[in-house]
Chain A
């Protein structure tokens, strides 16, 4: 889960990175009180993926159609050429109760297209009912809401959000047919949606959310993919944000077979507490990667203490290896003596798939025919039958099992 950090600390640090590109004055911070009552620059940022100084700024003309009047996308690059972040300046009319004012805000995205934060130039502030400025907690809330790519705002029309509302943003295709009489002032937010908007600023939230997750985000991802390298991917894999890591894992296949460094980084994620992340990490390895005995050993070392279903997923993944490493095979076979349930059947399936049915393995497993758990003995007997071992000891034990059952 992305954690929102206090704006002062992180905002300052990021601002110093971004300052040359952003072209705003240095942040002066704000009062630690809940209310921001004066003009000044405000930045509310989430944790970035890459904490690198900005070296250059590249501008791109936005060719996709969206409702942001300004058509420039700024890409902030590090000295290594990594796209550290992106931003767009939003200058657009917002109308409240029939009166319009300009909303000036810069929206920032991460290297992976994740929402990074908002920045307000001097004298600008977000406002709600009756132009009342946002409180500090409302800025925090806005950032949290904008950091939710799964927000139901994606599927809602503004009419549903504020049932009795009219249009607000002149010239915006989103608001066609909406009159100018309402924003958050006169319209009650739908109760079902109250959790997804800043109270009193439903439309501003709605609008900014759709900016963040609109066509600009797709363009940002395309630009990052153009400059993606194994080194940059490895850096993204080190991000404190799970969403960034998942993003990197999704794009690893383009660099298969993985370098030893990337293999180690991905293998390290298998023990991540985040199930989806760990599962995706396991799925990332290709048969070419799995040809490495070193990687197989690393995966084996990751098994103890692993989530049970991930452990089984890892065993299944090893079926894709061109060949099983001898040490891995023997270790798994030895551990079967204490294995129960699904793990047992997954390992036996692996051995059959990988034709790991030599006399040594079969003899070792045939000892389990005398297991007090009938299920275990039955599974091993079925395995040995399929393995077709001609080992004398194995055959004798199988005959013994048949006599007993």
Chain B
């Protein structure tokens, strides 16, 4: 732009600011009336997290008209929004146990970011994190979205269900979003919210412990050199701050040096964090951020930490536990650690028992050769029709759930649930009625790994 043109345009802008009336380009919008929509689909997946994204892609690739409802602004859930961008373990005892769409997403994210997969040939021993695959969460979210669209899935961000009714062999789901109120009529529902809220709305039983595992706000801090710090002084100051009530001991397990040496990541514990409703999730987010802020201020008063900074922070506190469905089968801790097999096993799960509490977590590793499996019945609420869940809210006891909840397992379940829902919608039946051999073959054709 030439100088004269630029000065002219600045003049025009100034004039616009000064003018009391609207410029010609502006249009005064009429009062907004919430738009009401009516949509139909074969399969509706609620929740676009680790399980839901995979379930929707699977249903779409099966050729079913699929809608994916996500209350946030992007896909991937814990992997992306939660910032836990190491989605668990896909290999056990030298073999791949979770494959299919979840693995496809992980592998493509790794490739596109020029990252390296761990060497799965080397056993991880008691350090299961050796087989964790770190992914770029932002890239994962974009690829997940692209794959959904490629599979013909209609994504609806910023929407959440208000009610669920089963009428004339179809579900009628009332959904609200920003300025939009939609009724979706569909044949099958896949609840991948992780909290089983749609299950509860539909009137099926859900379970919950009095105490739930803490959540974590993922962040990174920096601006200090851990090697130069006076550890003794820091420990003492930290203890004093806890005693005075300035800091909450459980938030960093009474170990401020662990926070400093890890520089954040998966280290904070927010007791009672629950993402089931917007109210409980708001509280969890506020607590997570408040905790980080108070610790940041504390650290900046310590010698050597005066320039501590927050480098990065996720937008949500990720949560580990809330409601689980009351399913046709409940996977118990004993089932999990013994690798119990089922005739209707649809996917594997491989992770130590990983129950976080106020003292942290001590993973309880599976014995050599053990891999847990997930029966289809654990994904289906009792008394339900045309309804299936995938992810953390599957039917399981608390200890089994602490391992089953991990993302790789949720991806495997997501694909199985998406496949079962797709086949059920083709046949006009419930997922539990799908002939199991057919489901197995279908999953294998799409890369899923089904227990023998």
Contact = CB atoms under 8 A, between A and B. Distances in A.
Interface of A: 1, 148-150, 152, 195, 242-243, 246, 273-277, 279, 307-309, 312, 340-343, 345, 372-376, 378
B152 A375 contact: yes
A150 B168 CA distance: 59
Contacts of B446: 340-342
Given A150-B124, A308-B99, A341-B445, 18 more contacts: A150-B122, A242-B121, A273-B94, A275-B91, A275-B95, A275-B96, A276-B119, A277-B121, A307-B96, A308-B444, A308-B447, A309-B104, A341-B61, A341-B446, A342-B61, A342-B446, A372-B63, A373-B62
Contacts of B414: none
B100 interface: yes
A149 B122 contact: yes
A340 B445 contact: yes
A152 B127 contact: yes
Contacts of B447: 308-309, 312, 341-343
Contacts of A243: 121-122
B146 to A, nearest CB: 12
Given A308-B99, A309-B104, A340-B445, A276 B121 contact: yes
Given A275-B91, A340-B445, A342-B447, A195 B125 contact: yes
B103 A309 contact: yes
Q: What 5 pairs across the A-B complex have the smallest Cβ distances?
A: A308-B447, A373-B63, A341-B446, A374-B63, A276-B121
B126 interface: yes
Given A340-B445, A342-B446, A275 B120 contact: yes
A378 B149 CA distance: 12
Interface residues of B, number: 33
Interface of B: 60-63, 65, 91, 94-96, 99-101, 103-104, 107, 117, 119-127, 130, 150-152, 444-447
Contact of A307 (B99, B126, B152): B99
A349 to B, nearest CB: 12
A242 B119 CA distance: 11
Contacts of B95: 273, 275
A340 B57 CA distance: 13
Nearest to A346: B104
Nearest to A307: B96
A379 to B, nearest CB: 8
Contacts of B117: 276, 279
A405 B65 CA distance: 13
Contacts of A275: 91, 95-96, 120-121
A159 B248 CA distance: 30
A373 B63 CA distance: 5
A1 B94 CA distance: 8
Given A307-B99, A308-B100, A342-B446, A375 B125 contact: no
30 contacts: A148-B125, A149-B122, A150-B122, A150-B124, A150-B125, A150-B130, A195-B126, A246-B121, A273-B94, A274-B94, A275-B95, A275-B96, A276-B121, A308-B444, A309-B99, A309-B104, A309-B107, A309-B447, A340-B445, A340-B446, A341-B61, A342-B61, A343-B447, A374-B152, A375-B61, A375-B62, A375-B63, A375-B151, A375-B152, A376-B63
